[in-house]
């Protein structure tokens, strides 16, 4: 690791974080081509999915955007296939395994996330790259980190554990639950930092208040993840003397992005390539538009190419005030899978995207479902492109036909001026009353 000057609280973790963006992009694109070739060569899944792709030509974001997405459902389906499972429990997506059973060595742990979905962990310190996020949250060598992420089945506990130990910290493996025992451990051990969900930290604070206690003054920093941490909850932590920072990570990818002392979005990790795409498609959206987070990891052991997380976010303009120069995410803004059933038929974001593709005058569209049970009403709200001017003659009728052709449903069409639809990533909005 290329160590930076760490003489002050807000120092970067290493010099990678403050590279010139053009240097970073060139390095990432070079590594991308090598990762695609590696995935084709070492995994059965990508040997099939990318069999017609020239890896040496995947050296730009435009080239990356032409590759297919991989979703969690795809991983689960491959792992479920009995014939595949007999040979490879990871469904052909891992370059490592264990013993003769996998035909490859290297895995030191195997995890099971809900689904079930199996993920490998390879050898090496800070395998999930969490040290960078912990550092940004103020965690330093010699700290005792109270880790309340689960050590059972899923990798969350191991992610924080290995990251903290890579920084030179000591870890208390609290895991989940046992609130009173964990509270007692905090009083006895005086940890410096908490790692876990914000919800459990709030439970611990409430339990302490119930017992007319306060947490040790030493516990003054936290790295939280796994669920939303709204401003009200962050303020509650601050009032208890704890500065809480967020990070964004998944069991498949490890660290994706992390918050800094600047409190200005989440800075993307140095070992992933992040795209924001229009829900239901693999098409990147302009900077600032809300879309689905798609990640390509440079981890050679589990080389996921264009992994669609299902989460919504947006890219923030400019650089982080902390001095870090990588791109930033606004944070978690909801889920991208907005599929719903209307009059007995499923409608999906992909169908809405297909409607937009048919009509070049359309910039964005939103399918709004309203009404009451058994009386669904469907409205396609369409935002025109800035150069479309007045609505072209017959456009509403053509859109009505496309809606019927692609969804098998009838609905109204509403033509809107550019900038009318909210920038929230919603493609399908369900406003039906549930009473």
Which is nearest to 367 in space by CA: 352, 354, 357?
352
pLDDT value at residue 391: 78
The long-range contacts involving 180-186, CB below 8 angstroms and separated by at least 24 positions, are 180/207, 182/146, 182/148, 183/207, 183/208, 183/211, 183/213, 185/146, 186/146, 186/215, 186/216, 186/219
Q: Give the Cα separation of 348 and 189 in Å (integer).
A: 51
Structure-token pair, residue 60: 């730009």
Domain boundaries, the chain: 340-430
pLDDT value at residue 118: 93
Q: Give the Cα separation of 195 and 291 in Å (integer).
A: 28
Judged by DSSP in three states, 61 sits in helix
Q: Give the Cα separation of 383 and 142 in Å (integer).
A: 55
* pTM, two decimal places: 0.84
Is 242's pLDDT higher than 90? Answer: yes
Structure-token pair, residue 67: 């590759």
Q: Write the pLDDT tens digit of every residue in 23-32.
A: 999 999 999 9
How high is the mean pLDDT of the chain? 91
Q: Write the pLDDT tens digit of every residue in 281-290.
A: 889 999 999 9
Judged by DSSP in three states, 109 sits in strand
pLDDT value at residue 371: 85
Q: What radius of gyration do the chain's Cα atoms show?
A: 24
Is 318's pLDDT higher than 70? Answer: yes
Is 83's pLDDT higher than 80? Answer: no
Q: Look at 39-43, 53-57, 385-389 and tell me which has the smallest mean pLDDT.
A: 385-389
Q: How far apart are the first and last CA of the chain?
A: 58
Confidence band of 338 (pLDDT split at 50, 70, 90) = confident
Whether the CB-CB separation of 176 and 150 falls below 8 Å is answered with yes
pLDDT value at residue 423: 87
Residues in the chain: 435
Q: Write the pLDDT tens digit of every residue in 231-241.
A: 999 999 999 99
Which is nearest to 39 in space by CA: 296, 312, 224, 336?
296
| Mean pLDDT in residue range 123-136 | 96
Q: Look at 186-195, 308-317, 382-391 and tell me which has the smallest mean pLDDT.
A: 382-391
* 138, 240, 267, 368, 376 from 234: Cα distances, Å: 16, 10, 19, 34, 40
Q: Give the Cα separation of 345 and 348 in Å (integer).
A: 10
Whether the CB-CB separation of 272 and 295 falls below 8 Å is answered with yes
Is 4's pLDDT higher than 70? Answer: no
Whether the CB-CB separation of 268 and 257 falls below 8 Å is answered with yes
pLDDT value at residue 353: 87
Contacts for 172 with CB less than 8 Å, ≥ 6 apart: 144, 145, 146, 147, 185, 189, 191
pLDDT value at residue 2: 60
Q: Give the Cα separation of 214 and 66 in Å (integer).
A: 54
pLDDT value at residue 432: 81
pLDDT value at residue 200: 93
Contacts for 185 with CB less than 8 Å, ≥ 6 apart: 146, 172, 174
pLDDT value at residue 86: 67
Is 45's pLDDT higher than 80? Answer: yes
CATH of the domain spanning 340-430, picked from 1.20.200.10, 3.40.50.720, 3.30.300.30, 3.30.930.10 = 3.30.300.30
Which is nearest to 364 in space by CA: 338, 385, 387?
385
Confidence band of 408 (pLDDT split at 50, 70, 90) = confident
Is 21's pLDDT higher than 80? Answer: yes
Is 376's pLDDT higher than 90? Answer: no
Which is nearest to 179 in space by CA: 163, 199, 151, 161?
199
Confidence band of 257 (pLDDT split at 50, 70, 90) = very high
Q: Write the pLDDT tens digit of every residue in 62-71.
A: 999 999 999 9
Q: What is the DSSP letter of 388?
A: G
pLDDT value at residue 65: 97
């Amino acid at each position: 690791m290329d160590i930076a000057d760490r003489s002050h609280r807000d120092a970067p973790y290493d010099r990678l974080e403050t590279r010139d963006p053009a240097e970073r992009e060139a390095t990432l694109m070079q590594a991308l081509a090598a990762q695609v070739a590696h995935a084709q060569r070492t995994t059965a899944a990508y040997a099939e999915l990318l069999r017609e792709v020239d890896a040496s030509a995947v050296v730009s974001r435009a080239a990356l955007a032409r590759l297919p997405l991989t979703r969690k459902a795809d991983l689960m389906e491959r792992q479920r296939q009995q014939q595949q499972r007999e040979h490879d429990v990871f469904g052909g997506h891992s370059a490592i395994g264990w013993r003769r059973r996998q035909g490859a060595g290297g895995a030191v742990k195997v995890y099971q996330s809900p689904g079930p979905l199996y993920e490998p962990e390879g050898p090496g310190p800070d395998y999930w790259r969490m040290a960078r996020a912990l550092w940004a949250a103020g965690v330093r060598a010699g700290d005792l980190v109270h880790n309340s992420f689960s050590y059972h089945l899923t990798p969350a506990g191991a992610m924080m554990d290995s990251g903290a130990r890579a920084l030179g910290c000591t870890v208390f493996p609290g895991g989940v639950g046992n609130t009173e025992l964990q509270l007692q451990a905090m009083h006895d051990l005086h940890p410096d930092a908490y790692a876990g969900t914000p919800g459990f930290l709030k439970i611990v604070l409430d339990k302490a208040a119930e017992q007319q206690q306060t947490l040790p003054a030493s516990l003054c920093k936290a790295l939280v993840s796994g669920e939303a941490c709204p401003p009200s909850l962050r303020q509650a932590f601050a009032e208890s003397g704890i500065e809480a920072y967020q990070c964004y990570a998944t069991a498949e990818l490890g660290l994706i992005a992390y918050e800094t002392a600047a409190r200005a979005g989440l800075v993307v990790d140095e070992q992933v390539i992040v795209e924001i795409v229009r829900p239901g498609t693999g098409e990147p959206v302009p900077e600032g538009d809300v879309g689905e987070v798609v990640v390509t990891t440079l981890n050679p052991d589990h080389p996921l190419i264009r992994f669609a997380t299902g989460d919504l976010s947006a890219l923030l303009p400019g650089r982080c005030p902390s001095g870090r120069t990588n791109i930033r995410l606004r944070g978690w803004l909801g889920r991208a899978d907005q599929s719903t059933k209307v009059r007995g038929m499923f409608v999906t974001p992909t169908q809405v995207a297909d409607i937009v593709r048919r009509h070049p005058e359309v910039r964005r569209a939103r399918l709004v479902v309203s009404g009451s049970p058994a009386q669904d009403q469907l409205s396609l709200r369409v935002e025109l492109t800035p150069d479309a001017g007045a609505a072209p003659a017959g456009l509403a009728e053509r859109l009505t036909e496309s809606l019927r052709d692609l969804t098998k449903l009838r609905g109204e069409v509403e033509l809107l001026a550019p900038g009318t639809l909210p920038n929230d990533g919603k493609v399908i909005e369900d406003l039906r009353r549930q009473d």
